[in-house]
Amino acid sequence: MPPWGARIPEAAPLHPFTPPALAAAVAALAILLPMPWGPPALLAGTVVVVVAGGLPAAVGRALRVVFPLWILLLVLHGGLGPAPRVAVGGLGLSRSGLLLALGQGARLGAIAVAGFAAAATLRASRVLDAWAARGGTPHLGYLAVATGFAVPRLLARARTITEAQRARGLRLRGSLAGRLRALRALALPLVLGLLAEADDRGLALETRAAAAPGPRTPLAPVPLTARDRWLRLGALALVLAALAWRVAR
């Protein structure tokens, strides 16, 4: 299963460019909002919107990615931060470090939740149709979508090559020199195979006029609704307001 398109709310989907635009706005707000309480408020709001939008899995996925970073933030800034210290659960933690870890952790969390939610809404055909409707270069759109969907297949190929080389007696552990030799034995067939495949696909696409100039007709035009426009405008307004506040402060 590719990392995107994992779950798509069926009712009245947004234009495919709207969720990434909203995620970009969340990322900008995460950087612009004042530390330490701005990012936690943004994270809470983002989680509420994403769950209400029918994408709770994106929150779970983001938590799995950012939780180790939260622990490291706590150790790095809370445990190793400057005095004064406060007692938390029997541990003496830096007060300013804790606040920094809270703000920074929420900042990363908000960006991750919004990013995973946006990725989960993407569907290849709608992205390509929207891209074509915008007059975007067709082969660039295809390249982006096809590469994303190739990831699971490439990982499977890497596993196959690894198992085949191990069956031939390749040792994957031992000295550094041995591991470097193992890396070469694994990476070389993988990369050469990918280059050959890219060559074949390029030829196939060329025969289908993928790189030919001129506009394309979307198979199923994706409408840009008033809701999309208002959401984008609202996000832009929020970012501009945060920026103006940041500059004026």
Partner 1 sequence: MALAFVASQAGLPVYLDTLGTILATLLAGPAAGAAVGLLSQGITAVQAGAYMLAFAPVQLLVVALAWVAGRSAGLATTPRALLWGGATGLAAGTLSALISYAAFRGVTATGVTAITTLLTGAGLTLRQAVVVASVGTDLLDKLLALGLAGVVLRALPERVLARAPGARAAVGRADS
| Residue number, 65 or 210, with CB nearest to partner 1 | 65
| Residue number, 77 or 232, with CB nearest to partner 1 | 77
Stretch that binds partner 1, among 87-95, 104-112, 215-223, 235-243 (CB under 8 A): 104-112
Residue appearing with tokens 């994403």 = 50
Q: Is 195 in the site for partner 1 (CB under 8 A)?
A: yes
Q: Is 31 in the site for partner 1 (CB under 8 A)?
A: yes
Q: Is 243 in the site for partner 1 (CB under 8 A)?
A: no
Contact at 8 Å (CB) between 77 and 97?
yes
Which residues between 199 and 238 bind partner 1 (CB under 8 A)? 199
Cis omega (within 30 of 0) for bond into 84: yes
Stretch that binds partner 1, among 101-109, 208-216, 223-231, 239-247 (CB under 8 A): 101-109
Helical (H) or strand (E) element with 238: helix 226-248
Q: Is 240 in the site for partner 1 (CB under 8 A)?
A: no
The span from the CA of 62 to the CA of 118, in Å, is 12
What mask of x and - would describe binding to partner 1 in positions 123 to 162, judged by CB under 8 A?
-----------------x--xx--xx--x--xx-xxx-xx
Q: Is 77 in the site for partner 1 (CB under 8 A)?
A: yes
For residue 152, the tally of other CB atoms under 10 A from its CB is 12
Q: Is 6 in the site for partner 1 (CB under 8 A)?
A: no
Q: What is the DSSP letter of 5?
A: S
**Residue 215 in tokens:** 């506009």
Contacts with 210 (C-beta within 8 Å, 6 or more apart), sequence order: 138, 139, 142
Contact at 8 Å (CB) between 142 and 132?
no
Closest CA to 161 of 122, 188, 135: 188
Binding residues (CB under 8 A) for partner 1: these are 3-4, 23, 27, 31, 62, 65-66, 68-69, 72-73, 75-77, 80, 100, 104, 107-108, 111-112, 114-116, 118-119, 140, 143-144, 147-148, 151, 154-155, 157-159, 161-162, 172-173, 179-180, 182-184, 186-188, 190-192, 194-195, 199
